[in-house]
Chain A
Amino acid sequence: MPLYTVGRRRVIIALLLTGALLLTLDLRGNPVLDTVRDGFSRAMVPVEQATDVVTTPVQRAWNSFSNYDDLERENQALRDEIDRQRGTQATAEASIIDYQLLLALNNLPSLSGIETAKAQVVGGATNNIDQIVEINKGSDSGIAVGMPVVNQAGLIGKITQVNATTSKVMLVTDPRYSIPVEILGGTGELDAGEEPTDTTPSGRTEEELDEIIDQSIADAEAADAAENVESTPADVFEDEVPLPQAGGPNEATTTTTTSLPEAVPTGEEAPVVTDPDGNPIDAPSTTTTTTIALDPDQLEKEFGVLQGRGQGRPPQVRFLQDIPSLAVLQVGDLIETAGGSQSLAPPNIPVGRVINRANRPGVAGPLLEIELNADLDKLNFVRVVLFQPLTEVAE
């Protein structure tokens, strides 16, 4: 029997040509194929739900087998980091509110006036090429193709396919994703020559995690009573949490210094404070807060286009002019969405920071590699910004 007959070859070639034909029809847009796709997706819903219920123990067993140790250390480090950041959060929120008020006063667009739809990620990328996740909200919630999707850390992607109750989100790292961004030149620090290091999902190295945990243990031992704060997903994702928004680059910065009364060691009597005449003075029982206004740094913006590069590669920003008189781009600079009438996202959504700069010869301008604020490997709750660009609203 011949190994490779004409009949076999014909069948395989016919199937490949049929695939190419389907590809052509689908890329040009075909309502029949869209209907078939929608119908098959609906037919798959009950099968997936049943499979999900049946296989949940397997998933949990695998997760506990493969992630338990990392998660425990990560959880301990993150709890400590949350405690540290809670102190600076109030000041940051006040700055954002001031910024929003200023924008409203000047009739400038801001994220505060845009409605959002909360959603949960219910499915991840099922192949090793596409960077697409599925969320449990669709057109019934007012979601449309093109809307940006964010979480508390910043931009994570855009809607590319909408069904009634589910939507597909193309992540920022997908090679097909691109969006206009602005780089706040001068917000970073020059640290050229720094070698990349292996990090945990939170972006920290093992040594940094150990330091955080050691510091946390030392703090806990030093304190008389450690406060144990439990948080739930609902707390993290409550309605009052504002959308992530970067402040204005040139707005004034204030530094708040809080002086606490010195602690009296346990078991000792409080020292009696007297005036020059020897009369006792009541020790202060309240805190003293001093607010110092700092001179605003004159930061300059540069505009470019952010493009994803696939799994395992950091996104890049291209089409930069890099004119030193406008902005000096360097590692650590902040990246946020630029907005504009053609952009699918409103301005000032934080995206990430520059981690590498590659100079190119000629007028091509530099390439910037960026590290995203959001951890795309561990997405859970997200918000779809119900934003449509002015060009589409006008239509």
Chain B
Amino acid sequence: MFAAFVQSSLIRLIPVGMVMLALQRTVFVDIKVSGVTVQVVLALAAAAGASGGSERGAVAGFVLGTMFDLVEGTPLGSTAIAFTVAGAAAGLLALIAADPQWWLKAIFVGLGCAAGEAMLPVVRIFIGEESPWPANMPKVILIVALTGALMSPVLLPLSRWCLKIRGPAWTAPAEQPPI
């Protein structure tokens, strides 16, 4: 079991997630764009989906969301579900292109962030919270998505390293003997 843990991607994802959580709770609490808190941990989950596919993105989102719930004191599982959706959505979107350009991946990350942010109040409704929607929900989703897309050039390589994903190795086709 220990060997499986060491060999899995969690051995990298958890410490990176802790640093990202610390950044979220220190820097990004102050850095607000038009009054909206930038969600860097959510963006990392979406980036994991965009670079590793929906399955890996969902796993990364679940782990990061659970860590978020543990630190923040929010109901355990509520953020995990939303981040799982973010990672899976970004991963599913990434399937439409075999080798997407960087800007296309940034769009996938942004859309994944939007899905995750929109999912947060939905989960809260299911656990009985009254009116969990912020007054400016469309603006919140838009800004979280845009900032997630802007951070993707940094977060995509980081998520690839966390999930131990190697870039595609292109090989030249073997020369065909003349017929």
Contact = CB atoms under 8 A, between A and B. Distances in A.
Contacts of B28: 126
A48 B80 CA distance: 21
B130 A175 contact: yes
B30 to A, nearest CB: 5
B59 A124 contact: no
A40 B81 contact: no
Contact of B75 (A7, A26, A41, A63): A26
Q: Is the interface of B mostly helix, strand, loop or mixed?
A: helix
B73 A37 contact: yes
A37 B70 CA distance: 5
Interface string B92-126: 10011000000000000000000001001101100
A58 B40 CA distance: 16
B27 interface: yes
A41 B70 CA distance: 7
B133 interface: yes
B77 A59 contact: no
A47 B55 contact: no
Measured as residues with beta carbon below 8 angstroms from the partner, the interface class of chain B is 35 or more
Interface stretch (A255-263, A290-298, A307-315, A350-358): A307-315
B132 interface: yes
Contacts of B61: 15
A360 interface: no
Contact of B76 (A3, A33, A47): A33
A161 interface: yes
Contact of B22 (A7, A51, A62, A313): A51
A127 B39 contact: yes
Interface of B: 18-19, 21-31, 35-37, 39, 53-55, 58-59, 61-62, 65-68, 70-81, 84-85, 88, 92, 95-96, 117, 120-121, 123-124, 127, 129-136, 140, 144
Sorted nearest first, the 6 A-B pairs with minimum C-beta distance are A312-B135, A22-B77, A23-B77, A51-B22, A26-B76, A19-B81
